[in-house]
Chains A and B, each alone.
Chain A
Amino acid sequence: MRIRIIAAAFLLVACRPQTPASGPTRAIRWGGDAEGGAPFVEAEPNDPSRVRGFDVDIAGMIAKGLGATPQFIQVAWASIPASADRGDFDLGMSGIEDRPELRARYALSIPYFEFREVLAVRPGDAGRFRRLSDLAGHRVGTLGATQAFELLNAEAARSRLIPVSYDDDVHPYADLVAGRVDAVLLDHIIAERSLRRTGGFVIQPTPVALGHYVAVMAHARPAFRDSVNAVLRARMADGSLEHTFRTWGVWDDAQATYIARVSAEAPPATAATGTSSSRSIEAYVPSLLRAAIVTLLLSCAAMALAVTAGIGIAAGRIYSPPIVRWILAAYVEVVRGTPVLLQLFVLYYGLSGVVRLPAFAAAVIGLGLNYAAYESEIYRSALEAIARPQLEAARTLGLSEFQILRLVRGPQALRLALAPMTNDFVALLKDSSLVSVITVVELTKQTAIYATNVGSWVVPGLLCAAIYLCFSLPLSRAARRLERRWSVA
Chain B
Amino acid sequence: MTAASDSLVIRGLHVTRGARPILRGVDLDVAPGEIVALMGASGAGKSTALRAIVALQPFERGSITIGDVALTPGPVPPESALRSLRRRVGMVFQAHALFEHLSVLDNLTIAPIHALGWSREKAESVARRLLESLGVASRIDALPRQLSGGEAQRVAIARALAPDPTMLLMDEPTSALDPSRRGALGETLRGLATDGRGLVVSTHDVDFARGHADRVVVLVDGSIVEMGSAEQVLSQPQHPATRELLRHPAESRRD
Interface positions of A (Cβ within 8 A of B)? 387, 389-390, 392-401, 403, 407-408, 411-412, 415, 489
Contacts and interface: CB of A to CB of B under 8 A. Distances in A.
A287 B89 CA distance: 66
A129 B208 CA distance: 94
A398 B88 CA distance: 10
A396 B89 contact: yes
Given A398-B163, A408-B99, A393 B93 contact: yes
Nearest to B53: A396
Max chain B C-beta neighbours (<10 A), residue from A390, A395, A396: A396
Interface of B: 54, 56, 78-80, 83, 86-87, 89-91, 93, 95, 97-101, 110-111, 114-116, 143, 159-160, 163
B95 A412 contact: no
Contacts of B91: 393, 396
A397 B163 contact: yes
A398 B83 contact: yes
Given A389-B95, A395-B56, A408-B110, 17 more contacts: A387-B97, A392-B56, A393-B93, A393-B97, A393-B98, A395-B79, A396-B86, A397-B160, A397-B163, A398-B79, A398-B86, A399-B110, A400-B115, A407-B110, A407-B114, A412-B100, A489-B143
A398 B143 contact: no
Contacts of A400: 79-80, 115
Contacts of B114: 399, 403, 407
Contact of A397 (B100, B110, B143): B110
Which 10 residue pairs spanning A and B have beta carbons closest together? Answer: A398-B86, A397-B111, A398-B115, A389-B97, A393-B97, A396-B91, A412-B101, A396-B54, A390-B97, A389-B93
A397 B93 contact: no
B200 to A, nearest CB: 13
A397 B82 CA distance: 11
B117 to A, nearest CB: 11
15 contacts: A389-B97, A392-B93, A393-B159, A396-B89, A398-B79, A398-B86, A398-B163, A399-B111, A399-B114, A400-B80, A401-B78, A401-B79, A407-B110, A411-B101, A412-B101
Contacts of A398: 79, 83, 86-87, 111, 115-116, 163
B98 to A, nearest CB: 8
B255 to A, nearest CB: 14
A403 B90 contact: no
B100 A396 contact: no
Contacts of A408: 99, 110
Majority secondary structure of chain A interface residues (helix, strand, loop or mixed) = helix
A387 B100 CA distance: 10
A399 B79 CA distance: 8
A399 B114 CA distance: 7
A412 B98 CA distance: 12
Nearest to A392: B56
A306 B83 CA distance: 36
Contacts of A401: 78-79
Nearest to B87: A398
Contacts of A411: 101
Nearest to B80: A400
A415 B143 CA distance: 15
A389 B87 CA distance: 19
A394 B98 CA distance: 9
B97 A397 contact: no
Contacts of A389: 93, 95, 97
Contact of A396 (B56, B95, B99): B56
A387 B99 CA distance: 10
Given A403-B115, A407-B110, A489-B143, A397 B159 contact: yes
Contacts of A403: 114-115
A399 B115 contact: yes
A415 B99 CA distance: 13
Given A396-B56, A397-B86, A398-B87, A390 B99 contact: yes
Contacts of B95: 389
Given A397-B115, A398-B111, A390 B56 contact: no
Contacts of A390: 97-100
A469 to B, nearest CB: 33
Nearest to B51: A392
A387 B144 CA distance: 14
Nearest to A397: B111
Max chain B C-beta neighbours (<10 A), residue from A389, A392, A398, A403: A398
Contacts of B110: 394, 397, 399, 407-408
Contacts of B115: 397-400, 403
Contact of A392 (B97, B100, B143): B97
A401 B82 CA distance: 12
A398 B116 CA distance: 8
Contacts of B98: 390, 393
A40 to B, nearest CB: 63
A321 to B, nearest CB: 13
A489 B111 CA distance: 23
B192 to A, nearest CB: 16
A279 B101 CA distance: 57
A394 B156 CA distance: 12
Nearest to B169: A396
A472 to B, nearest CB: 28
Contacts of A489: 143
Contacts of B87: 398
Nearest to B156: A393
Nearest to B92: A393
A401 B93 CA distance: 19
